[in-house]
Structure 1
Amino acid sequence: MRRHRLLALSLILLAATSGCLGLLSSGATTFEAAPADVNSAAADGTGFEKNGTRDSVATRELGPAGATETVKVVSKVTTYEKTLEIPLLGSTRLGVFSVVSTPAVEIAGQTFNPVGDYSNDRLVQTITDRFGTLSNVERVSERQIVVSGTETTVTKYAATTTVEGREIDVFVHVTKVRDGEDFLVGVGVYPQQLDQESEILTLMRAIEHPAES
């Protein structure tokens, strides 16, 4: 299941990859997102179980030689999983939903987190390029939903992933929205053999940011 868990975490987006971060002042070296979560009632209703929230920390040494500073960007990744029955694989946690909160890194009215400019197609391509967890990715459809009070686009893709040495056809749903000082990215993955689309959309609509303590 290691590759499938990589898929669940593969949108740990590296918010410090833009060279524009070199414009930061020496006093602003750390940016940390507020964690996002899913309303507990919505999660319970879909059968997805929370698997915790993890920090994704990206650091860069920026500036000229001899005068560099360390810039740290902390994103939050909350993952939910659901046990599904698949022929030949049996009962396995193949339903995955992740919500990533990554700081906008806004300086003087300008946003330097490249995620702000990423389309859903680019987000899926990032998963494929960086982690190799998806192949044969094809856009299927898109729809509008409201996430954290903002209308945004959810794009559905067909793709292939590998679980326990077997290729599995999956659907991937991706959406992105800005909420306050953070960007929120929601990703849902499930086998094409099983219809989990309504559950994934329910989870996306129920994203809460910041997460309730």
Structure 2
Amino acid sequence: MSNRRALAAVAVALLLATSGCIGLLTGEEPLTVSADPAAVEESAAREAGYELNDTRTLEVNESFEVAGQERQVVATNHLTDYRKSVELGPIGEADVGVFTVVSTPAVEIAGRTLNPIGSYSNARLIQFVQEQYSGMSDIERVSEQNVTVQGTETTVTKFSATATIEGQEVDVFVHVTKYRDGDDFVLALGVYPQQLDGEEENVLSMMRAIEHPVSE
């Protein structure tokens, strides 16, 4: 399942949009913004049955022309990806559980937050995944609930969808949440087959255990 690539695309798309807003500011020096990495507490991930799969730094370097002047913007965010391997009927053993955390800079200038993710709903965020990941379709909202992450109450939206895993279509649930922590926005997304009993609580426990910035 290419959910890691999908979330990377989400992060890049968000940063490109952010950079476009920043480009409205003029200046001779490049404007550089960077998010702090986010991850799940190691013990919580292990208890939920997930292993760290990948960490990536995603950087966007763009130039914009505004009022006849060019402004260079360098924006960096971070992606941390976890996988859970289970036996799934005819598919066999595969990485069917995916949990990804993305941190992206809020970019606040003169009291104004320029990163558009701040105003995006969870339904809008899941659209990015659907647009970038061709193996996911038929996304429908199922329910919502509030969880506390780093002392902040945030809404987790649960969606049902159909995903392609190892060439076969599988019904999955997707959980999405987003919150502001300091100078960054943090986005978390969990995907797993609907037939995995109890996996929703594992995903929620991972969300509750997000660290930002990551402890050394």
TM range (shorter): over 0.9
- Residue among 54, 57, 78 paired with 2:56: 54
Greater share of residues in helix: 2
Instruction: Say whether the 8 Å CA contact 2:156–2:177 is kept in structure 1.
Output: yes
Alignment match, 1:203: 206
SS in 1 for 2:86: strand
One-letter amino acid matched to 1:204 = M
SS in 1 for 2:17: coil
TM-score between the two structures when normalised by the length of structure 2? 0.91
SS in 1 for 2:129: helix
Q: Number of aligned residue pairs: give it.
A: 212
Deviation string 1:92-113 (CA, Å, 9 cap, x unpaired) is: 0110000110000111111111
One-letter amino acid matched to 1:12 = A
1:79, distance to aligned residue in structure 2 (A): 0.6
Deviation string 1:154-202 (CA, Å, 9 cap, x unpaired) is: 0000001112211111100000000000000010000011121010000
State how 1:113-128 maps to structure 2 within 5 Å: 113-128=115-130
1:5, distance to aligned residue in structure 2 (A): 4.1
Alignment match, 1:6: 5
State how 1:56-205 maps to structure 2 within 5 Å: 56-64=58-66, 67-195=69-197, 196-205=199-208
1:17, distance to aligned residue in structure 2 (A): 1.3
Instruction: Say whether the 8 Å CA contact 2:26–2:66 is kept in structure 1.
Output: no
TM-score between the two structures when normalised by the length of structure 1? 0.93
Instruction: Say whether the 8 Å CA contact 2:7–2:129 is kept in structure 1.
Output: no
One-letter amino acid matched to 2:195 = Q
- Cα distance between partner residues in 1 of 2:151 and 2:137: 33
1:28, distance to aligned residue in structure 2 (A): 5.5
SS in 2 for 1:56: strand
Change (3 A) 1:69 1:201: same
SS in 2 for 1:126: helix
Identity level (%) = 49
Instruction: Say whether the 8 Å CA contact 2:122–2:157 is kept in structure 1.
Output: yes
- Cα distance between partner residues in 2 of 1:64 and 1:25: 7
RMSD (Å) for aligned C-alpha atoms:
1.7
Instruction: Say whether the 8 Å CA contact 1:4–1:162 is kept in structure 2.
Output: no
